[in-house]
Structure 1
């Protein structure tokens, strides 16, 4: 009698390893059956249901791990993009700070007596 049967297709096997390989390749769940058949009444059927539930749980866990790996890769790519954007913003901030300091120095010079006199003299030269 066949010991393992696929719940999704007609696959059957006498060996656990073959049934596991079928499950991994197809994503189907193989159900283990006792050689003696379901002579245990409710408990025999319950054992098959428990084995089927364990197979579904294993398939769900494998699917969840794959989904988490995909999400993790997406988050890493997003992090890399944010780091790149942050680097660009830091560079822009450094340029703006340097330009601000330059304008502040020029403004201080123009407010000084020397700067004001020079500005007025250049204005007189253009007007006169």
Structure 2
């Protein structure tokens, strides 16, 4: 019978589905271990130790990759939020610039009128007593 053991924590199970569910939920990797003793004496045991070591190393690498992937997803979402905020702020600045430009044009027109003969005449007449 094959037993499944997590390479990152103390979780153990006799059922593949449960081991897969544990791996999916935690990002850990479960390793299948045959319940029978290895055949082949010292070399069979050494081979089993090497296989187990390689399995643990693979499980650790998979766990590290899963953790890094999760961190990269979080950073991506954070950058996406910042990007949306910057786009919104830029749109607001464009609106303010348009309003300022319109106001500036209005003030230029008024200034040009006041400098004209008609505007200057009306201004001076308004100060007559």
- Please tell me the TM-score bracket, short chain as reference: 0.7 to 0.9
Structure 1 residues 10 and 63, CA gap change in structure 2 (3 angstroms): closer
Instruction: Select the structure with the greater relative contact order (CA < 8 A; seq sep ≥ 6).
Output: 2
2:64 matched to 1:57? no
* Kept in 2: contact 1:32–1:48 (CA 8 A): no
Alignment match of 1:105 (pick from 104, 109, 114)? 109
TM-score normalised to the size of structure 2?
A: 0.78
Q: What is the aligned partner in structure 1 of residue 124 from structure 2? A: 120
2:25 matched to 1:25? yes
Local SS of the residue matching 1:33: strand
Q: What is the aligned partner in structure 2 of residue 44 from structure 1? A: 48
Distance in 1 between residues matched to 2:85 and 2:16, nearest whole Å: 46
Local SS of the residue matching 1:40: helix
Q: What is the aligned partner in structure 1 of residue 81 from structure 2? A: 77
- CA drift of 1:96 comes to 0.5
Kindly tell me the number of residue pairs found equivalent between the two proteins. Answer: 124
Local SS of the residue matching 1:62: helix
- CA drift of 1:105 comes to 0.7
Gaps (5+ residues) in structure 2?
none
- CA drift of 1:106 comes to 0.8
Gaps (5+ residues) in structure 1?
none
Aligned CA RMSD, in angstroms, stands at 2.4
- CA drift of 1:71 comes to 1.7
TM-score normalised to the size of structure 1?
A: 0.78
